[in-house]
Amino acid sequence: MTILIDDAGYGDLLFGVVIGSYRPETDVFFYDVIDVKYFQKPLFAKKLYLNEAGSIAQRLVERQRPEEGERIKICRGDILDKAAEILIESYGKERVERVKVEGRAQELIEGAYIDEIRNLGYQSIPDRTEKWAKSFFHMLRWLNAHPKMLKYSKSGWPRLKRFKLFRRS
């Protein structure tokens, strides 16, 4: 048996980040969210979202109740670096592997993120993961049209100051 850990939404402008765990053999899926506040000032500069990702990944694996010797495969993305360290510390280097997560696990985790941003009233573009720039500007236009939703944006990225909307925050 194997537990897969992945993230969704880290590179997007809206909402926090979904971290999910999936066990293919039983089709069991859980997820939790790194709150958007970790991607806003002042927390973003402190990179506390990395610790939060680690805590969430640990809880998700525990929730899956791993069997003795069960493998844990975790996405290679930067946001999960601390999570990988924590899981290696808890379960051992021989059980934890960094991988590219694909297939059903990725679909479920991306779907959870899409559902979360849909709950904000935002409708994502089709194929958003293949069209990052187009997706970013689509989200930016939506935020311009819905300025009260700015509180749900990852406004801590320094480069966002280029956009008028983020010079106010």
Residue in this structure with the two tokens 């480069």, named with its chain if needed: 159
Q: Return d(Cα 96, Cα 85) in angstroms, integer.
A: 9
- Is the entire prediction scored with pTM above 0.85? yes
24-83 tens-digit pLDDT? 999 999 999 999 999 999 999 999 999 999 999 999 999 999 999 999 999 999 999 999
Helices (runs of H) and strands (runs of E) counted in the chain: 6, 5
d(CA 76, CA 80): 7
- What are the chain's domains? 2-167 (3.30.420)
Q: Which residues contact 40 (CB under 8 A, 6 or more apart)?
A: 153, 154, 155, 156
